[in-house]
Structure 1
Amino acid sequence: MTFNGTRHWLRFAAANTLRNRRRSLATVLVTALGTAALLLAGGFALFTYQSLEQLSARTTGHLVLATPAQFDGSEDVPLQHGLDDADALRQRLLADPAVRQVLPRVAFSGLVSNGDKSTVMMAVGIDPDAEFAVKGPFLTVSAGRVLSTGRPQEVMLGEGLARSLKAAPGTGLTLLASTTEGALNALDVTVAGTFSTGVPDVDQRLVYTDVATAQKLLVTKRVTSLGVFLDRMASTLPAQQRVQAWAGQIGTQALRVQTWLDEAFFYRSVQALYNRIFGALGLVISVIVVFVVANAMAMAVIERTREIGTLRALGTQRSHLVGSLALEGLLLGSAGALLGALLALAVTGLLLVLPLQMPPPPGRSVGYPLQIAFDPLLYAAVLAAMVLLAATAAALVARRTVALPVPQALAHV
């Protein structure tokens, strides 16, 4: 078929769709709603996965550098498998062009006491200025202020732990923990502020302090691990390969580099659950959309059975009729898919301007914003699928309709 011939048939198909505007509009609207439903459902699932990935990477770093024993085994005493000479390792990591920041971490457990009551704590020593600058608002400060590098021997307490100890900003507490030699050590600290992570169980035990204070309590210069924050998620695997190439043996210490995914136990569990939920939901929505759109296209063809019989009686070839009806389906499907894409984009933008909050997920006390991710590949795939579905449905029904005997088609009601 020549270009002029194709253009002629397209004009003919377009004219046919405009002859019955009500029927064509109904078909376009059905296709648009189906397209928007698929795009919004897919965008919400994509946003959920991306948010979980970013949360996991922001918690530990895109890469985590530590000794193999730190990843694989338990400790007899705090920092038994910690990193020596962390400052030199940090400078070498910062030389990598993809590395944005390297954060030391000292993880330990012990007791925290207000003099009258003692309770178990899970403590983390951090570099306060760099930690809050790189991670952003990873926790909600409910009272007081965040830690500062220039203020040693201060702590931040989870809300639940602060209530248990009746502690407030300015309250003096005592930290008790085993040193790296196995002896018991105590250190007086001041509460700088209280915070909430959004997970009540964590807030009942978590304590933040600075690295120097943690090392002073544990009587060591080691750190548990180094969290490596990269310029973007896509740099994770290449950076891991580069770092592992030189970190295999540093002095007398063999080091291992793991990605955020290796450390993200919560993410992997939630991902497995969401894969089933979104998979089932996506399948149901897809089946409904396919049947609704296919039915709308089928009805648009079947309603014209007498017209098709008349054209057959006038000598129009079956192949021309099938091709014309398939082109009409293509045009209606394209219009509906584009309208649905615009509708999905409008909803996506509206949720950015007027954010809605989702209810807190299990185990958390705060919700999260309802947003829809925009992914060009998702839009391209859904639009192509909807156009193909509309054209295919029209062509299949048209083949059956034009195959009817002319008297039967003319008598169709």
Structure 2
Amino acid sequence: MKWLRFAWLNTLRNRRRSLVTVAIAALGTAAILLAGGFALFTYQGLAQSAARSTGHLIVGMPSQFSRDEDVPLQHGLDNVANLRARLLADPAVRQVLPRVEFSGLISNGEKSTVMMAAGIDPDSEFAVKGPFLKVTAGDVLASRSQGEVMLGEALARSLKAQPGTSLTLLASTTEGALNAMDVTVKGVFSTGIPEIDKRLVYTDLATAQKLLVTQRVSTLGVFLRGMDDVAPAQARIAAAHPGLAVQTWLDQATFYKSVKALYNRIFGALGLIIGVIVVFVVTNAMAMAIIERTREIGTLRAMGTLPGQLLRSLALEGMVLGGTGAAVGALLSLGVSVLLLIVPVEMPPPPGRSTGYPLQIAIDAPMYAATLVAMVLLAMLASAWIARKTVHRPIVEALAHV
């Protein structure tokens, strides 16, 4: 404690120099935490979006995930009500959503276009997922109303459809025959991805099954209490239903994997650049602080202070300055992160999307702790490494240093 007190008092002797060193360490710490927090927020947002789209777990027949279907729902699930009840019995399961996926044509009588359709349980779907669609006209589907659809914005524009417009769905049944059904547009939505909005159609589960002439569903999306429950719940459900395949949201998240791989390279290069700049700037600041005190160090040596004692004192000074700067930088980063929650800032739309997203910085305790420790160690090592040569200089040379 005595040496730490000496180090603290030494930093107060030249307040301007110490303030500059602390400011450099603070800005370096803040830059690392803000860049890392933005990367972490991006990954968390992508993961949550992927899990909300498909479910934390996806239950289906093994062939559903490994083979193409010759006819709709060839590899679908039977006895869905019983299976859904058994899945809901798991304490980690919040909701189980059935889904029928099929393709076909949608027509307004004058024009027909290809559609990618999904039959859902509307009440449960929108209750669990929340506002995952931006409704631009009309309203969302309801389970009690059958024979209604929601169209992607670009698809509705192509068919000149609006809420209340009558359309016709055409699709192959499970027997391979062609079936048609008249439906009414309930709403128009935007997913934020123009290419998807050109083809996507939502309808209720009963309408989809009636069109395909089946009681099967493609898959069951299992929504859990949280992301941490994914691995344990997958193991339990797979063990309880050995005849079924249980995939996680990550197995289905092709977009998440590709974007994360790209961002890993971008954020990795950015982090490396910031890290190198911080190392050199902090090291240079500590070097200037020590070199300016060469004559002082020579005087202490002449008075009998051992080189090891000087090294320890200077390293502790580096720890005090680095620690103070790191703490200030962490508070600065925390303040910016909280400010972005209070005052939203919208990011421009990324490639392939038509809507932006809020800029936020994740506050991750392990990342803050690791950055603080790294900054303190960097300042200490920089001080000790530079002081090593200075304290071992001949006393006469040190005293004559200008």
Task: Please indicate, yes or no, whether the TM-score normalized by the shorter chain is above 0.5.
Answer: yes
Deviation, 1:274, is: 1.0
Matches within 5 A, 1:113-192: 113-192=107-186
* Equivalent position amino acid for 1:412 in 2: H
* Equivalent position amino acid for 1:336 in 2: G
Structure 2 match to 1:409: 398
Among residues 28, 47, 52, which one is paired with 2:46 in the alignment?
Answer: 52
Among residues 25, 29, 46, which one is paired with 1:31 in the alignment?
Answer: 25
SS in 2 for 1:110: strand
Structure 2 match to 1:3: none
Deviation, 1:14, is: 0.9
SS in 2 for 1:328: helix
Q: How many residues align?
A: 402
User: Is 1:302 aligned with 2:291?
Assistant: yes
CA distance in 2, matches of 1:334, 1:280: 26
Deviation, 1:302, is: 0.8
SS in 2 for 1:371: coil
CA distance in 1, matches of 2:7, 2:117: 71
Structure 1 match to 2:301: 312
Deviation, 1:22, is: 0.3
Deviation, 1:312, is: 1.1
CA distance in 1, matches of 2:194, 2:4: 63
Structure 2 match to 1:284: 273
* Equivalent position amino acid for 2:9 in 1: A
Deviation, 1:409, is: 1.0
Structure 1 match to 2:317: 328
CA distance in 1, matches of 2:308, 2:240: 67
Structure 1 match to 2:5: 11
CA distance in 1, matches of 2:23, 2:70: 67
Deviation, 1:10, is: 1.4
Give structure 1 stretches of 5+ with no counterpart: 1-6, 249-253
CA distance in 1, matches of 2:305, 2:340: 51
Deviation, 1:345, is: 0.1
Structure 2 match to 1:264: 253
CA distance in 2, matches of 1:411, 1:337: 35
Among residues 366, 371, 385, which one is paired with 1:382 in the alignment?
Answer: 371
CA distance in 1, matches of 2:323, 2:271: 22
Deviation, 1:125, is: 0.3
* Equivalent position amino acid for 1:375 in 2: D
Deviation, 1:55, is: 0.6
SS in 1 for 2:175: coil
CA distance in 2, matches of 1:245, 1:8: 62
TM-score by length of 2: 0.99
CA distances 1:100-131 after superposition (whole Å, capped 9, x unpaired): 00000000000101111111100000010110
CA distance in 2, matches of 1:99, 1:30: 49
Q: CA RMSD in A?
A: 0.7
Deviation, 1:358, is: 1.3
* Equivalent position amino acid for 1:194 in 2: V
Structure 2 match to 1:239: 233
Deviation, 1:408, is: 1.2
TM-score by length of 1: 0.96
Among residues 348, 360, 372, which one is paired with 2:361 in the alignment?
Answer: 372
CA distance in 1, matches of 2:246, 2:310: 64
CA distance in 1, matches of 2:4, 2:257: 50
Structure 2 match to 1:63: 57
Deviation, 1:384, is: 0.2
Structure 2 match to 1:207: 201
CA distance in 2, matches of 1:294, 1:371: 31
CA distance in 2, matches of 1:387, 1:85: 61
* Equivalent position amino acid for 1:352 in 2: L
SS in 2 for 1:175: strand
